[in-house]
Amino acid sequence: MRVGFFFGEVKRLYHDAFASLVFIGITAIFMSVLLNLVIGGYVYVGNVTRRNSTYLKARVYLKEGTPQPIKNVFSLMLRYNPYVDSIKFIDKKKAKTEFENNFPKFGDLIKLFESNPLPENYEVYLNYRLLNAKKLNELTKNIQRFDFVDEVYPQGLFVFKLYALEKVVYFILVSFIIIFFFILSMITRGSIKSSVEKKKDLIKVYWLLGGNTEDLIGPFQVAGVVAGAIGSILSSLIFYLVFKFFMIPTWMLLISPILTVFIVIIVIREVIELSIN
């Protein structure tokens, strides 16, 4: 009897509350499109920031004749600095090769000097997540205080702007997930409540025949989940090629359908339990 009621109720629900289910589906499509757009934007901005993070570094030029023991200690100090990801020491020979590769038109200038005039230096790769412009300025001043340091030259400061943009997009993403939950909950609550109100007599009869809460909730959950899932899946399929093109993990397209199904299940259970108690 319960099985017959279950499938019969689903059929009646689709017939009597078709407009409400379509409304849930359309809402899921619209909200999921925006959610996928924000998710894709956040991941893409993060990828761009990480790709460009290698440009955030500092060149630390040493004075001529710096003793090797001092360089060894200084290397350790830089390597274990919390703001530093890695370092690379560039001796005079490497500095000359680097200059000739970067400035081929001016390579002959070095031949005018009796000895290699290029200074030894460290290429210090910095952690953009821990730093900002103020902290980098303090780090630069602290390094510059050493007597054997000739100059400190920061590079790639534009990464800070990219990281700030990433944090803004992340805030928008979190805010929109909350909005997504709120709007879809309100739409589902209103639609399912309307359907339950239309079927109060049928629910009372079934309740008197010994039906339980789970059997009553089941048909409504199936109908609501199907409508919401179809809408959110359709919106995710729209973004499949977009995510592939921008090298965004396509598994993130599952976030929208899973979130939609979760919201619908929770809200329908809440509405029906309140309605029959």
The residue ranges of every structural domain in the chain are 2-49+162-276, 57-155
Coil vs helix vs strand at 145 = coil
210 exposure class (CB count in 10 Å sphere: 0-12, 13-18, 19+): exposed
In the predicted model, is pLDDT for residue 5 greater than 70?
no
- The CATH code that applies to domain 57-155 is 3.30.70.3040
pLDDT in tens, 168-211: 999 999 999 999 999 999 988 887 777 677 666 666 666 666 66
Give Cα separations from 111 to 103, 157, 171 (angstroms): 14, 34, 55
Coil vs helix vs strand at 122 = strand
> What's the CA gap between 96 and 154, in Å, rounded?
20
149 exposure class (CB count in 10 Å sphere: 0-12, 13-18, 19+): middle
Coil vs helix vs strand at 219 = helix
Coil vs helix vs strand at 113 = coil
Give Cα separations from 244 to 47, 166, 231, 251, 272 (angstroms): 14, 20, 21, 11, 41
* Residue tagged 């000097």 (tokens): 113
User: Does the predicted TM-score (pTM) go above 0.85?
Assistant: no
In the predicted model, is pLDDT for residue 94 greater than 70?
yes
pLDDT in tens, 243-270: 999 999 999 999 999 999 999 889 888 8
Counting DSSP H helices and E strands in the chain, the numbers are: 10, 4
Residue 244 token pair: 């592939």
